[in-house]
Structure 1
Amino acid sequence: MAQLTILAGGVGGARFVRGARVLAAAMDLDITVIANTGDDLWLTGLRVCPDLDSLMYSLGGANDTERGWGRAGESERVSAELTAYGVGWPWFTLGDLDLGTHIARTALLRDGLSLTEATERLAARWNLGVRLLPASDDEVETNVEVVDEDGEARLIHFEEWWVRHRGNIPTRRFVQQGLESAVAAPAALEAVASADVVLFAPSNPVVSIGTILTLPGMREALRDTAAPVVGVSPIIGGAAVRGMAELCLRTIGVEVSAAAVGLHYGPRPAGGLLDGWLVDSADPEALGPLHAAGMEARAVPLWMTSDESSAAIVADALSLAAEARTA
């Protein structure tokens, strides 16, 4: 059985992983997903892990497909009560079913379980078809340095920057709080080391995949693994497929293009992380710079409109990985 390890963010990552799951039986794949934990936060005394939960709900068939996030059939009575008490973030509403997950996770963590162990316990309820792992057991939260109207700089949590402000505030940089005392989770590092193929889902390259890569030990594991490492572009035709990737890329000074993001990760032969990079059929001009940098690249349709179209993208990524392995 081939070991496939996928680095992923939340909603877009879940769509990609569902595609991989479609292929699992036919291609004899054992799938492990390493999820971004930079969006995690403490809120109303509970540990909230947005990307882990988006993956779990989507793979477990419990996600709200209309909103694209959260649980189906939600109510928000508890959040309304918390707002009435002046507790929490009124602009960051947690559904009642979702709160059940956060309460359970917090109880497990307070019982002494690591986040990896707590995630395994939570995921056991659902038939995910994959192993779901947090990128780190340590608390490393993504903050954003913004500038107020009076010119003063301050740090806010990424979720406040994204959900409350929609990124519409002068932004200087992204900061991983707690990074100095953190490491990548041992199980996540082992999943990279033992993989036959590693894929980067088309998740945000700055605050999803990028945050995973900042964790001490992760870049080294990706450079050292014997597996080919292939990424899928989250940029199609010069625009992000979803989320705030364009704003994030501009903030760190990377051009919003399929080629620029691939080169931002960099080719492994030159000390980067990727052996191959998939771009969309709308971006064939990206292939030249990628090939010139020493990276295998291919242009294929990348819109994830269904599990089947996502599966086709994963199949193309695995094909490119096989090509990179023999190059």
Structure 2
Amino acid sequence: MSAAPRVVVLAGGVGGSRFVLGVRAALRARGLADTAASLTVVVNTGDDLWLSGVRLQPDVDSITYALAGVNDAERGWGRRDDSERVNRELQEWGAGWPWFTLGDLDLGTHLARTGWLREGLTPTQVLERMSHRWDLGARLLPMTDAEADTVVVLGDGTRLHFQEWWTRHRATLAPARFENPGIDAAAPAPGVTGAIAAADVVLLAPSNPVVSIGPILAVPGMREAVRATAAPVVGVSPIIGGKVVRGMADVCLTAIGVETSAAAVAGLYGARSAGGLLDAWLLAEEDAALADDVAGRGIRPLVRPLWMTDAAGQAALGDAALVAAGI
């Protein structure tokens, strides 16, 4: 391909952050100096919430910090070498959630975002402004400008914000279903469907398929845009050897009746030839025996190393995803 490839990644969470880093590295290895003109990341905003009067966007910030090289890679969220003085003061006042830690530098981001939102900027405009601070090498877009926070509904009807269920309870409370109130009236953020339509490849990151990629695809018009693009759509399995890599995606999958396996998640997305989304699916060497199952679902299986334990692994996976799309 002579022109710079146009790559769109749907992503959220730690897995999404690492994968986006790998795709950026793979594009740079191809000699692209300005990867920001090539790489667009559509970020999950279902994790967002209001807390202590400020708007938090956990997945947006995790991917922004990772691309900027200032993220806390150990924890997987927040800023590296951050302090927590303000968080402790909030707790002394009985404000916020004592089990939801906010670093001081991280709070600076939330305060800036909230101020801009109060001034009338949209989440898309806020993210664009945030992106000017660092050389991210990518254009970041929220999945929607609407607020459609994820709510976890338990079997007894109790409703919890996703962050309370995930962070406080560590997904130990069995969910009956996940909801995004307001999402039916939402629309893809400006630029999202245009980027997908013009893409040379659309990649589904190895993020939680239920609460990271799921909300993105639930935005009206999003699934249709992915299905209609002329570009190949390549997904990367978040399951390796029948187990989740990080987090509690297995609990989420069980709640919607999907087995925790690479083939089952491929089936959840579905083959484009059968009205689903995927043309190809990268699954781990540990799951090579499932390749025929994936192929039987109408999706081209590609067995590749999927571990992203370091920068080299991230770049190798990013390269494998691009190669799968002919780039």
Q: Does 1:21 align with 2:29?
A: no
1:199-243, Cα deviation, whole Å (9 max, x unpaired) = 011000000011110000100100111110000000001100111
The Cα shift of 1:317 comes to 1.4
Measure the CA separation in 1 of the matches of 2:103 and 2:16.
Answer: 22
The Cα shift of 1:90 comes to 1.1
SS at match of 1:316: helix
What amino acid sits opposite 1:56 in the alignment? Answer: T
In the other structure, the counterpart of 1:293 is 297
Q: After superposition, where does 1:187-226 map in structure 2 within 5 Å?
A: 187-226=191-230
CA contact 2:11–2:44 (8 Å) conserved in 1: yes
The Cα shift of 1:160 comes to 0.4
Measure the CA separation in 1 of the matches of 2:76 and 2:150.
Answer: 22
The Cα shift of 1:70 comes to 0.7
SS at match of 2:72: coil
1:228-268, Cα deviation, whole Å (9 max, x unpaired) = 00000000011001111111000100000000000110000
In the other structure, the counterpart of 2:52 is 44
1:300-326, Cα deviation, whole Å (9 max, x unpaired) = 110001122111112111222229xxx
Q: Find 2:9's aligned residue among 6, 9, 32.
A: 6
1:97-152, Cα deviation, whole Å (9 max, x unpaired) = 000000001111111111011001011101111111111110011000014xxxx3
Measure the CA separation in 2 of the matches of 1:282 and 1:321.
Answer: 22
What amino acid sits opposite 1:130 in the alignment? Answer: A
SS at match of 1:105: helix
TM-score, reference length from structure 1: 0.95
SS at match of 1:193: helix
What amino acid sits opposite 2:55 in the alignment? Answer: R
Measure the CA separation in 2 of the matches of 1:11 and 1:219.
Answer: 23
Q: Does 1:239 align with 2:247?
A: no
SS at match of 1:186: coil
CA contact 1:275–1:321 (8 Å) conserved in 2: no
In the other structure, the counterpart of 1:314 is 318
TM-score, reference length from structure 2: 0.95
SS at match of 2:281: strand
The Cα shift of 1:183 comes to 1.3
In the other structure, the counterpart of 2:130 is 122
Unaligned runs of 5+ in 1: none
Q: Find 1:172's aligned residue among 171, 176, 188.
A: 176
Measure the CA separation in 2 of the matches of 1:25 and 1:289.
Answer: 34
Measure the CA separation in 2 of the matches of 1:196 and 1:302.
Answer: 22
Structure 1 segments (4+ residues) deviating >3 Å: none
Measure the CA separation in 1 of the matches of 2:298 and 2:157.
Answer: 40
Percentage identity across aligned positions?
Answer: 55
1:177-205, Cα deviation, whole Å (9 max, x unpaired) = 11122112121211111111000110000
Measure the CA separation in 2 of the matches of 1:233 and 1:216.
Answer: 24
In the other structure, the counterpart of 1:271 is 275
In the other structure, the counterpart of 2:84 is 76
Unaligned runs of 5+ in 2: none
